[in-house]
Amino acid sequence: MWLTPAEWQIVRFTLAVCALSTAIILPLGLAVAWPLARHRWPGKLLVETLVTLPLVLPPVATGLLLLKLFSRRGGLGQFLHEHLGMDVVFTWRAVVAAAAVMSFPLLVRSARVGFQSVNQRLEQIARTLGASNARVFFTITLPLAARGIIAGIVLAFARAVGEFGATIVVAGNIPGKTTTLSLEIFETVQLGHDASAYRLLIVSALIAFGAVWCSEVLMKRSALR
Amino acid sequence: MFRFPGTIFIFAATLLLQTANGAEVNVYAAASLTDVLKEIAANYEKQSSDKIVFNFGASSILARQIIERAPADIFFSADEAKIDILQIGGLIVNDTRRDMLSNSLVIVVPNDSKLAIASPNDLLTKTQKIAIAEPRAVPAGIYTKEYLSGLGLWEKLKPKIVPTENVRAALAAVESGNVDAGFVYKTDADISKKVKIAFSVPIEKGPAIRYPVAIVKESKNRLGAENFLRYLQSDNARKLFERYGFIVKF
Amino acid sequence: MKLEIQQLTLHLKQFSLEVNADLHSPRTGIFGPSGAGKTSLLESIAGLRKPETAKISLDGCLYENSEQNYSLPVRLRKIGYVPQDDSLFPHLSVRRNLLYGTNSKSEHVTFSFDHVVDFLRITPLLDRDVRSLSRGENQRIVIARALLSAPRLLLLDEPLTALDLKLKNAILEQLRFLHNEFGIPMLYVTHDHAEAIEICEEVLMLESGKITARGRPIELLA
């Protein structure tokens, strides 16, 4: 085997966590991108700023905010710990949370552009043909915005795979539990295990290629058939 | 038109001149030495024109930085292995190497913890997460692993271990309450107000902890480094080390 | 049909659209130069644009009453709209486009898919890619799609622009008999004399947002 079993576990873990985080932010991201793209409403600027924040803050700062939010003392973490016996900090859940928060803005931005590119005339016509708002959204808007949305998903996934700063703060680097590809590359460099570091680097590049290839396939198959 | 750039130039030149006069001594030291060395340096600077600039962190990371030719003048490590690596690489001035301090390990828990931990064995049944410095590289973690392995507990406790970047990070993790317990040096536990010591590893039963120091060969301020190194072995420094709970070996 | 438009006002860039009219003819034309406000009028009736004030009802059903702040949602108005610009859904096939408005929501399907497709001669186009259609083919499909949603009223905004004469005449004929064939009244916007005379029974002249004349096309336009 070219990669050690431990390295394989890390790759599988990273892909699983990033797929999960992307799946989680998808409905939420679309729900936020849509009103941002279409309407003007009070508080819009605030939401725009909040959504962009993880993009602009240093990742470790975002990690710190997540640490406070999910800490066992006070906040969400306390609730989860006491009522559900569930911990977030220093577990895989924190990895998902960090990946989700850091990649969210990229999805929203891309999806927003996708929505903005949809000809509103077509949505109007759909309504004259009797379609409800939900039907218009799912049968007209979404398919026509598909390019932007797919690009957003791929970007978000890629960002999740590359995520480091927030992850190491809120999830730590626990072998077998929270170690992701990025964290492991960092560790192997620290320890001087350069051969391992290069192997993992190649895997990262392959994942990047894979993501771009997927997006090309999806775009070809999407909306404009 | 030339006023503004001119002012900047003069300002920059002044800065450069200042650093040239009172030289800097760059000290790369283990994280557990943060508080005691800062106080020692403050005292030193009252009687010297030199300025002590610190880089605190895990000895493993610091050693790596020195290997990459980071501008260190003195290396104060928390274990011998790291200085050995540098010595083998010809990066330190061999006859300046000194064994300075020792320390002991303790198990700490958050101040408000209700867990009754009276021995390492209790960790098995009473805790879910234990923070220690990275056991593959950082001295505090290596010592802890050595100790727990000696008790036959390491493999069983491994699933609970949360490795941190350095021993102070382990301390912080315990302080935050996000882990149930942690292994740190006694000197770290003494400084923190948010943790309490649940168990002290007896010196005779614990691993042999050594803090060696040495001057880095490529130091740009050899004289300043020698002066500070001498001060570190003075009576004033000894008193401070002991006050912070270190075991003095010089 | 009975389309009542009372006190409709809408501020446009250069002037205000102000319309007060009761329309009865199943083939009513709105005639005027470009920029006269014809499209805005259609959009207001369809509910795609909100006039500042208006009271609009169709066959006794209230669509808009600005005094009571009431506006019937577009999807409930059952008004077929054929705009000037391209409006076929590019991501759906011709067939799916046509069927878009024919869902469960229509309680009564007044005429069959085949009937409409036949009448507008678009049978050979059913499996074509929307983007490969010529403008003439495009327009016929848009009209068919609107018809298939069983509307109460059909609004057509200059549907024959950019078509060559031969094609125009072919479609004109179909439009003229649309009402005969399917019983659906229409409001036909144009700036072309010949079209108005050919298709409409009654014509309203719209200039700078105001109705300046009303009557039979032969009398007003010949």
| Cα–Cα distance measured from residue A160 to residue A171, given in angstroms and rounded to the nearest whole number | 14
A169 CB-near residues (< 8 Å, 6+ apart):
A60, A63, A64, A66, A67, A98
Closest of B37, B67, B55, B33 to residue B187, by C-alpha: B33
DSSP state of A140: I
Fold category of B3-102+210-248 in CATH? D-Maltodextrin-Binding Protein; domain 2 (3.40.190)
- Chain C interface includes A118 (CB < 8 A): no
Q: What is the pLDDT of residue C115?
A: 86
Contact B107, B63 (CB under 8 A): no
**Hey, are the CB atoms on C87 and A130 less than 8 Å from each other?**
no
The minimum CA-CA distance between C36 and chain A, rounded to whole Å, is 21
Neighboring chain A residues of B136 at a CB cutoff of 8 Å: 187, 191
Whether the model clears a pTM of 0.95, i.e. scores above it, the answer is no
Tokens 């350095």, residue located:
B166
Q: Does the fold of domain B105-200 match that of domain B3-102+210-248?
A: yes
CA closest to C153 among chain A residues: A128
The minimum CA-CA distance between B38 and chain A, rounded to whole Å, is 26
Question: What is the Cα C178 distance to its own chain's centre?
Answer: 12
The rounded mean pLDDT for chain A is 91
Selected from 3.60.15.10, 3.30.70.600, 3.30.300.20, 3.40.50.300, the CATH number assigned to the domain covering C3-216 reads: 3.40.50.300
Instruction: Quote the radius of gyration of chain C (alpha carbons, Å).
Output: 17
Q: What is the pLDDT of residue A223?
A: 55
**Amino acid symbol at A27:** P
Give me the residue spans of the domains in chain A.
5-56+92-221
Percent of chain A surpassing pLDDT 90: 72
Helix or strand (DSSP H, E) at A68: helix A59-70
Contact B74, B211 (CB under 8 A): no
Q: What is the full DSSP assignment across A169-187?
A: HHT---TTTT--HHHHHHH
E strand segments, C24-179: 27-31, 53-58, 61-65, 70-71, 79-82, 153-157
Give residue-wise pLDDT tens across range B182-205.
999 999 999 999 999 999 999 888
Surface of B (181-240) touching A: CB under 8 A: none
Of B61, B163, B178, the CB nearest to A89: B178
**Hey, are the CB atoms on A90 and B61 less than 8 Å from each other?**
no
Q: What is the pLDDT of residue C107?
A: 47
Per-block average pLDDT, block size 10, for chain C (222 residues)?
90 91 92 88 93 92 92 93 91 92 60 85 90 89 92 92 82 83 90 89 92 90 74
> Is residue B17 scored above 70 in pLDDT?
no
Give φ, ψ of B197 to 5 degrees.
Answer: -85, 125
The minimum CA-CA distance between A169 and chain B, rounded to whole Å, is 10
- Chain A interface includes C103 (CB < 8 A): yes
Of B61, B136, B162, the CB nearest to A90: B162
CA closest to C87 among chain A residues: A122
Q: State the pLDDT confidence band at A1, using cuts at 50, 70 and 90.
A: low
Chain A touches chain B, with at least 3 Cβ pairs below 8 Å, answer yes
Q: Which CATH superfamily is domain B105-200 in?
A: Periplasmic binding protein-like II (3.40.190.10)
Contact B78, B36 (CB under 8 A): no
> Is residue A225 scored above 50 in pLDDT?
no
Give residue-wise pLDDT tens across range A97-147.
999 999 999 999 999 999 999 999 999 999 999 999 999 999 999 999 999
Q: Which CATH superfamily is domain A5-56+92-221 in?
A: MetI-like (1.10.3720.10)
The rounded mean pLDDT for chain B is 91
Give φ, ψ of A27 to 5 degrees.
Answer: -65, -40
The angle subtended at Cα A216 by Cα A215 and Cα A218, nearest 5°, is 65
- Chain A interface includes C78 (CB < 8 A): yes
**3-state secondary structure (DSSP) of residue B100:** strand
Q: A14-18, A184-188, B105-109: which range is least confident on average?
A: A184-188
Q: State the pLDDT confidence band at B232, using cuts at 50, 70 and 90.
A: very high
Burial status of residue C132 (CB atoms within 10 A of its CB: 0-12, 13-18, 19 or more): exposed
Give me the residue spans of the domains in chain B.
3-102+210-248, 105-200
Best mutation target among C42, C43, C91 (most A Cβ atoms within 10 Å) is: C91
Q: What is the pLDDT of residue C121?
A: 87
**Hey, are the CB atoms on B177 and A72 less than 8 Å from each other?**
yes
**Hey, are the CB atoms on B64 and A67 less than 8 Å from each other?**
no
Closest of C32, C43, C59 to residue C8, by C-alpha: C43
The minimum CA-CA distance between A36 and chain B, rounded to whole Å, is 37
